Amino acid sequence: MLVHTFAENAIKHGLKHLEGKGELIITVTSTKNSCVVVIRDNGVGRKKAKTIEVDNTSKGLEILDQILELYKTLMKIKITYAIKDITDEKEQPLGTEVYITIPGE
């Protein structure tokens, strides 16, 4: 569910508007205390995507936040995510990276 939402957003908002070859990379690493999922794309970036799209409902992350809050309440496990814009040295967008951290063994 988590990966799907962010992968869909990467394709729909970032890669769809990219001229040239798009790339979506999903990696999963496990440590002693958590699992970290990184979803990275080389799309147009969130700032540019906001200027291109006019029919976006922007409900995906809102719904995801509600689900994560319910999961935290019911299961006592706090899953977190962070979204990072990837830019070059001139602050030109190179894509987006999402880090999902799932605590546990």
Residue ranges of domains in the chain, CATH in brackets: 2-103 (3.30.565.10)
Distance CA 42, CA 22 (A): 6
The Cα angle at residue 1 between residues 8 and 41, in degrees rounded to 5: 35
22-79: per-residue pLDDT in tens?
A: 999 999 999 899 999 999 999 998 888 888 865 666 788 899 999 999 999 999 999 9
The predicted pLDDT at position 4 comes to: 93
Confidence of residue 6 (pLDDT cuts 50, 70, 90): very high
Across 74-89, average pLDDT: 95
Confidence of residue 2 (pLDDT cuts 50, 70, 90): confident
Distance CA 17, CA 32 (A): 39
Answering whether pTM is above 0.75, one says: yes
Distance CA 82, CA 99 (A): 5
